[in-house]
Amino acid sequence: MRKIVFIFACLLLIVQVAAAQNKPKAKTPAKPKTSAKAPTKAPAQTANTNQDLYKLDNILEVKITFKESNWDSLLNSFKQEGYEEKRLVGDVVVNGVTYAKVGIRYKGSSSFFNVAKIGASKLPLNVKVDHINKKQVLPGGFTTLKLSNVFRDPSFLREVMAYEIARKYMPSPRANFAKVYVNNEYLGLYNCTESVDEKFIKTYFGSNTGPLIKCDPDYNGKKIETCPPTDKASLVYFGEDSLCYMNLYELEKGTNWKDLISLIQVINKAPQQLDSIFDVDQALWMIAFNNVLVNLDSYIGRLSHNYYLYRDTFGIYHPVIWDMNMCFGGFRYPDDGPALSTEKMQQLSPMLHYDNERKPLIKRLLANPLYRKIYLAHVRTIIAENFSNGLYIERAEAIQKLIKPLVEKDANKLYATESFGQNLYQTVKVDNSSVVGIVELMSERVNYLLNHPALKGTPPAISNVQHAVQPNGASISAKVAGAKQVWLFYRNAKFEPFQRIQMTADSPSEGDADAEIGLANWSATVQKSKGLQYYLVAEGEKHASLSPERAAKEFHQIK
């Protein structure tokens, strides 16, 4: 009997196993296309400040999700119809962290309209994470991603390299790269550039409560018949009527037209007062940078644009350079004339617009003998620290090595993959025009500049800069050769404007070895010592030298 029961139980088990094997299997849920790992939601009030958002080798991953399937048509209509600040709301994941209800719009001028015209999908984007939630910020406290489509730059180098060089000498945005997706579709590798906004302004100028002016003309603005023809935002004075300025400048924050017109009037009519309301040294660095790097899509070019003006709490206006994608000869027009040939760009005069009334900032500054000598010293410094030593080639090759795999995978890039490597060294064809090679341009340009009459000769030499704290302030001294005058620029605290005083040369004693070789000790005394920041300018008959050479971005300090 037990044997029969055992056999029956075995038969029952076999039937159950067979039934289980014939049962349909449940489907495994499909993995999300965007990531195998769910993104982390960003805290509303805090940011991961340990992550360096704009570090050059930190290639961002930006994934945008819209509910609207026709998001591109909507963004395009906003842009085409002139609604510059109208945004579409979506969610954005940046390096695995989700930011909800973010405002996105298309940005740019030629980089948008010229690319949209040919039906390309890689269009420049402006992503504002605090568009709705004002407490929502990116790592480091940033709120905006400005994503550029690398227009007119087959090398992918111009924007990031130009900003890297500019930051050595003046307040300038940082820039790196980002892989950009929209609704799981890969749009390509973009430049990502820090915004000139309240955070940027506070970092460099100590406060962001002053007026900020974007010097970029509205090309669609209605022409005012009673106003004279212009070179765009060139700071030419047209009188007191604000209508003549409204299509040329954009008052972004906290100012009125009267303030801007007053600045422009001083530049044109009373340049001897300019240093009391304007950061002259920053302007000289900006002009020198634009000239050396043939950045003609700037104040020194036909369109006189791509810069900001900010007025700090001391009443000083500071120029801030912007938009570098056509640096290194990507734009060939210094004025209303024809495009420059490669040879003419290589031989662009360091004294460009020296006597041009339509570029009053350059004309007025370079008409001042001391400012002109400081400007040429800045030109020499930029050349020596970046170009004559070959550093720019080393940096360019390293950056291209970093991004090469991503450029090759970018099916939407505006130019052929072969052009990416070629354009560092040589000219490549782009549509019906050409983009000069960076090395092709700069190798000959450096030779031309170093042999230009304005730069030939030996500048004064500054050495042994010292300071000594005294009961009533501080004594500052240096040994200088070849100077007819030495100037001390000083300030009592960071962000204050520098003041200028003359230094005094010691009378040489009999048998003084220094005097016999033309070396003199120059000194000056100031009333305050602790925290004092200063730099020196040694002025010769034709040239000047600075200590530190990157002044006023860098300076000596009494701690």
Q: What is the pLDDT of residue 472?
A: 87
CA dihedral over 281, 286, 287, 291, signed as positive or negative: positive
- pLDDT score, position 221: 79
Higher pLDDT, 425 or 29: 425
- DSSP classification of residue 273: G
Q: Is the pLDDT of residue 44 over 60?
A: no
**Average pLDDT value for residue range 295-322:** 98
What is residue 27's predicted lDDT score, i.e. its pLDDT? 38
Q: Which residues of 173-210 are buried (b: 16+ CB within 10 A; e: fewer)?
A: bbbbbbbbbbbeeebbbbbbbbbbbebbbeebbeebeb
| pLDDT over threshold 60, residue 102 | yes
pLDDT in tens, 50-90: 679 999 999 999 999 999 999 999 999 999 998 888 999 99
> What mean pLDDT do residues 247-259 have?
91
Mean pLDDT score, 348-377: 99
Domain ranges, ordered by start, for the chain: 41-199, 461-557
pLDDT over threshold 80, residue 35: no
DSSP 203-246: HHHS---S-EEEE---TTSPP-TTSPP--SSS-----S-GGGTT
Residue 20: pLDDT over 50: no
pLDDT of residue 34: 32
pLDDT of amino acid 431? 84
In 10 A of CB 241, how many CB atoms?
Answer: 13
Select from 284, 481, 479 the least CA-distant residue to 377.
284
How far is CA 362 from each of CA 356, 371, 380, 449, rounded to the nearest angstrom?
Answer: 8, 10, 18, 18
Query: Residue range 398-418: average pLDDT?
Result: 98
Per-residue pLDDT of 202-239, as tens digits, reads 999 999 999 999 999 988 778 888 898 888 999 999 99
Residue 438: name the closest of 331, 298, 330 by CA.
330
Q: Which residues pair with 318 in a beta bridge?
A: 310
Q: What is the pLDDT, as a whole number, of residue 37?
A: 39
Cβ-contact 357, 229 below 8 angstroms: no
Residue 41 confidence class, pLDDT cut points 50, 70, 90: low
Average pLDDT, the chain: 91
Residues 6+ apart with CB under 8 A from 225: none
Say how far apart CA 533 and CA 488 lie, in whole Å: 10
- φ and ψ of 14, to 5 deg: -65, -40
How much is the pLDDT for 197? 97
Domain 461-557 falls under CATH 3.40.640.10: no
Specify the pLDDT at position 361.
Answer: 99
Kindly report whether the peptide bond that precedes residue 552 is cis, defined as omega within 30 degrees of 0. Answer: yes
Does residue 9 carry a pLDDT above 50?
no
Share of the chain above pLDDT 90, in %: 83
54, 175 contact by CB (below 8 A): yes
Nearest-10 crossing angle of helices 391-409, 417-425: 170
> Per-residue b/e over 360-373, b at no fewer than 16 CB within 10 Å?
bbbbbbbebeebbb
| Backbone dihedral angles phi then psi of residue 270, each to the nearest 5 degrees | -140, 60
pLDDT at 111 over 70: yes
- pLDDT, one tens digit per residue, over 501-546 is 999 999 876 667 677 678 999 999 999 888 999 999 999 999 999 9
Tell me: pLDDT of 246 over 70: yes
Q: Which two tokens stand for residue 28?
A: 């495994």
- In the chain, the amino acid numbered 43 is P
